[in-house]
Amino acid sequence: MLGEHWVGWLGAVAVACGIGFAASVASAQSASAAPSGSSDAGSSHSGTATSSRAANGVVARRAPTARATQSGAKRLEAPQRPAGVARAARLQVQPKAEAAASPARYPLRNLIVTFKNTQLALPLQMVFFVKQVAGNATFTQNSVYDLHNVDQYDWNKLTGISFTFWHPDDNAIMIAWRYNVDNQMFEIGPYYNMDFARIMPTDDEIISVPVGEKFTFNADYQGITLQYGDTVVYKPIPEGLHPNHLSAFRINSWFGGTSRAPRTISYYMQLKPWWKTL
């Protein structure tokens, strides 16, 4: 009887252990299946996001078009670059990024300043015997001004080439600019002086540039080219203006027009090294 008792007890223990082991194995299998299911769901979501980015990144490109103005200038619309989601993301963080990169983006050596109640900008940029003036410029909030009269429409001179030292406004090739108080944009355009006559930019030759945006320029004995983004304006040198290399010099930046600077005005301009323009 004692032996049968021990056999029965051992059998009960074996059955209990078997049930516990089976339960633990089932639990482990269930746990290992959960990450697999989560990963599949994540992969499906990632695939949807990728498809969305691909769809947004496709942007139609326009072929370049040109319009000829009465003055012979051409306004070109270059092909647009894809905007995409990445561009939108950059725009959202632009203020912080711009603040962090400000010293590098606007080197002090490129700063041009016109003090209040003056017209001549500093530092001086005059170089003789030049055949070209090229570079880029950026207007900032410190470039904004309001004259509160019709002189607001006068053109300031960014840079350029003159061929008459004693009368810089006689025969000259210049990049002109002004601030539009209505749309709060800067306007740039090709500007010529010939025999003391002013050949100002026409409406089709004016490019609007927002605050903080860079534009490029090139002035030589053939004409003036301005570009901001996808917009390019080219205006050939007018017939009757005859460049003279022996008397040519790069002009200094000048405010006006007839009015003086109503406040201290500054902007940034990077010029092509003078020894490469001779």
List of domains in the chain: 108-276 (2.60.120)
pLDDT for 45 equals 36
In whole angstroms, what is the distance from residue 188 CA to residue 271 CA? 17
Give yes or no for residue 131 having a pLDDT over 60.
yes
Tokens of 158: 């960014």
Give the global pTM: 0.66
Identify the weakest region by mean pLDDT among 40-49, 143-152, 166-175.
40-49
Measured at the alpha carbon of residue 127, what is the angle toward residues 121 and 131, in degrees to the nearest 5? Answer: 120
What is the greatest pairwise CA distance in the chain?
136
Identify the weakest region by mean pLDDT among 80-84, 85-89, 125-129, 162-166.
85-89
Q: Mean pLDDT across the chain, nearest whole number?
A: 76
Out of 4-13, 60-69, 242-251, give the one with best mean pLDDT: 242-251
Identify the weakest region by mean pLDDT among 50-64, 68-82, 160-174, 202-216.
50-64
The sign of the dihedral angle between the CA atoms of 30, 34, 36, 37 is positive
Alpha-carbon distance values, 264 to 112, 141, 250, 255 (Å): 11, 11, 23, 11
Tokens of 277: 């323009």
In the DSSP assignment, the letter for residue 259 is S
pLDDT tens track for 56-102: 333 333 334 444 444 566 666 554 443 333 333 333 334 433 443 35
The arrangement of strands across the sheet holding 132-139 comes to 65-68, 74-77, 231-236, 223-228, 214-220, 132-139, 265-271, 111-114
Q: Roughly what angle, to the nearest 10 degrees, separates helices 84-92 and 94-105?
A: 80
- Band the pLDDT of 198: cuts 50, 70, 90: very high
Alpha-carbon distance values, 100 to 104, 150, 266, 268 (Å): 9, 39, 20, 18
The sign of the dihedral angle between the CA atoms of 218, 223, 225, 226 is positive
Give yes or no for residue 267 having a pLDDT over 70.
yes
**Section 28-50 average pLDDT:** 38
77: closest CA among 213, 192, 232, 252? Answer: 232
